[in-house]
Amino acid sequence: TNFYFTPIITTKEMREKTGNPDFHYILLCNKICGSAHYNMQMNIIVETEEEYNKWLAEQPKFNVAQAQ
């Protein structure tokens, strides 16, 4: 299953709008092939492009040559 969307409100902004500091966007499993799918969830963090790029720059780089 593929899912694409373009967020317009960041997680931080939504927490402020709702007054809920624990607010999370949640992606729920939509399959009905098992009894536990209703409980399969993933938190989605929506940030600004600048925040994402800063986070990405801070991540360690993976060196394929060292992994072999």
- Split at pLDDT 50, 70, 90, the class of 67 is low
Question: Following CA atoms 43, 64, 1, 42 in sequence, which dihedral angle do they give, to the nearest 10 degrees?
Answer: -10
pLDDT digits (tens, 9 = 90+) for 8-57: 999 999 999 999 999 999 888 777 666 677 678 888 899 999 999 999 99
pLDDT at 68: 60
Find tokens 């967020």 and name the residue: 7
Q: What is the pTM (predicted TM-score) of this model?
A: 0.66
